Amino acid sequence: MRTDVVVSTRGLSKRYGKLLALDDCDLDLPSGRVVALVGPNGAGKTTLLRLIAGLLHPTTGSVSVLGQDAATDTVAALSRIGFVAQEHPLYKRFRVGELLRLGRELNPGWDQAYAERRLADLGIAPHRRAAQLSGGQQAQVALALALAKRPRLLVLDEPLASLDPLARREFLRSLMTAVADDTITVLFSSHVVTELERVCDHLILIDEGRIRLADDLDSLLAGHRLLVGPRNGHTVETLRAAEGVLTVVHGERHVNVVARTGQGPTAPGWQAHALSLEDLVHAYLENSQRARTQARPFQEGSPR
């Protein structure tokens, strides 16, 4: 394994009974990055994050975290991972100060001064009970507790889901400050694609348990283009069939095509533009949704 790789999976699959939630995933996560994991509902994001955090065992394949097998060296791996599950689960009846004490007792590398400073900066007093904090404050406490472990890898499962736009910004700002202060790798899943471009520098896109994209943002954005051309003379089908084309959208006068750089329509009248991360993610998701629909066999009585 390369030393700059924090997480490495090989042939990683996870079954729940008959359902294949994760299918033969190979992944190498470079260190020091802020990595966004995106994909539709049920794509396998939580499953992948829990496998990385050593909270689930693979059905087949392997997960290595910081050079250790996440499934067998769980204790060693967990001590260097900060994990915040969906919905920021805190022991709700505890006061914030008690949560800090628990963190100190359970984690050898605990940084009490850091935890106290973070919470003081956020204006969250130690006597407050977790249950009485707002959703955004609970998210901030969960993040402070995870960071006070001084982890090398921080894994967050949909940390933005229950936050309003302001709380979301504040949470991301806290995360960015923490990352700037330290050399940690952050891996977080999210459905909020609009915010990601400002905060992440590496993207994993997962769909139906398979990894469709995994690369640094700069390479992904350089590797794709939005091509805008005249509407007449092209059918959606012929454009879609061209090599490297992901999506085709017909506007009133123009056709928008998302394609890999250097591929797609190049005739006179077509112009190439840079893509946003949001457009890129949507193009891949639309593409796999269409492939799924086309692959579905026609059933008697179903609408054509």
- Give the binding site for ligand ATP (CB under 6 A): 16, 19, 21, 39, 41-47
Q: How far is the CB of 57 from ligand ATP (least distance, A)?
A: 12
Closest by alpha carbon to 35, among 226, 211, 209, 224? 211
Please, which residue, 38 or 141, has the CB nearer to ligand ATP?
Answer: 38
Angle at 189 between CA 185 and CA 193, to 5 degrees: 110
Closest by alpha carbon to 226, among 204, 198, 254, 207? 254
Please, which residue, 144 or 154, has the CB nearer to ligand ATP?
Answer: 154
Q: How far is the CB of 39 from ligand ATP (least distance, A)?
A: 5
Q: How far is the CB of 292 from ligand ATP (least distance, A)?
A: 14
Q: How far is the CB of 40 from ligand ATP (least distance, A)?
A: 7
Please, which residue, 44 or 54, has the CB nearer to ligand ATP?
Answer: 44
Please, which residue, 239 or 285, has the CB nearer to ligand ATP?
Answer: 285
Backbone φ, ψ for residue 51 (5° rounding):
-65, -40
Distance, first Cα to last Cα, the chain: 50
Q: 34-38 and 185-189 as β-strands: parallel, antiparallel, unpaired? A: parallel
Please, which residue, 175 or 206, has the CB nearer to ligand ATP?
Answer: 206
What residues contact residue 108 under an 8 Å CB cut-off, 6+ apart?
A: 79
Q: How far is the CB of 101 from ligand ATP (least distance, A)?
A: 32
- Residue 41's SS3 state is coil
Please, which residue, 103 or 209, has the CB nearer to ligand ATP?
Answer: 209
Separation CA 170–CA 122 (nearest Å): 10
Q: How far is the CB of 253 from ligand ATP (least distance, A)?
A: 37
What burial class does residue 68 get, using C-beta atoms within 10 Å of its C-beta: 0-12 exposed, 13-18 middle, 19+ buried?
middle
